[in-house]
Amino acid sequence: MRFWYNPHHITWLIDFATVFLMGIVHGITPDEHTWPITFSYSIGSYSTRGGMRAGLYFSLAFTLQRAIASELAYFALAGFLMKPGAEQIVYVIVGVVMLLSGYFILYRHKTLHLFPWLERLTPALPTDRETVPVKLALIHGFIAGWGTGAFATIIYTVISPRMPSAWIAFMPGLLYGLGTLLMQILIGAAFGRWIERQRLEEKAKAFIGRFVAGNTLLIGGILFALAGIAELLDPALADWAMPTGLHVYNLDSINVALLLIIVVVGGAGGWSIWRAMKRVHDVREV
């Protein structure tokens, strides 16, 4: 019982609960590193279960990365993540991976296997037979996790360094990732459910999934890479923000990150869905 009444240990419990709640908020609010990827692969799976797997795979890799970074922060080895330009480099890398994935899905009708050994470790799923296997979200999740933000900065500079032992220093990042995972599974399921509920034949759903996922990843990848390069050339862009008056994380200001979400998910994703649905209905009428 002494464990529970020791104020130092109570602080750990509060920290753990805090980072888990932070992860939930991060997972449900529009975020440039989560929503575009989860949206693309969830729609590409054209099913509720596939959407859940997309959110799960992305967030599992994201959680692993955050746990690693949290452990590094304990040893004061995560400082490079907060250096100027680090976030922009992640943007460029994420963008390149996205656009390559989108290009292969859209124009080559095949899968881009960046790390075949990693993909073989995941169980085979029915959706993996299509041209948009959700297991690719693993790669995106691990890369995107190296990006930083307000929550990540708090974890790396405040919470992880004051963990009492290296044996549990990974826990803040792990719990943050698990909070994100919970919400991304639900969001992925919602995206997948929407396409599943459309009264379409399997062939039509497969076409829509491939067309929407491919376009969203391709266009989103180009925009992410360009945004990263632009902010590297002009660091002031990274700090540009227009307050919205909303006291909601990720919605409190209009900045480059929010614009990326709107343009990629709302613009490229929305246009791709409209265009794909129109093509399917045009074929039906012929």
Could you read off the pLDDT of 4-30 as tens digits, one per residue? 434 455 577 788 888 999 899 888 887
pTM of the model: 0.81
CB 156 within 8 A of CB 82: yes
Check residue 264 and report its DSSP letter: I
Measured CA to CA, the distance from residue 205 to residue 88 in angstroms comes to: 35
The residue written with tokens 């929503």 in the block is 35
Evaluate if residue 120 carries a pLDDT over 70.
no
> Contact 130/206 with Cβ under 8 angstroms?
yes
pLDDT score for 212 = 87
Q: At what angle do helices 86-103 and 202-233 cross, to 10 degrees?
A: 150
Q: Are 280 and 200 in contact (CB under 8 A)?
A: yes
Task: Please state the domain count of the chain.
Answer: 1
Task: List the domain range (segments joined by +) for residue 11.
Answer: 2-285
CB 193 within 8 A of CB 48: yes
Q: What is the CA radius of gyration of the chain?
A: 20
Beta-bridge mates of residue 253: 243
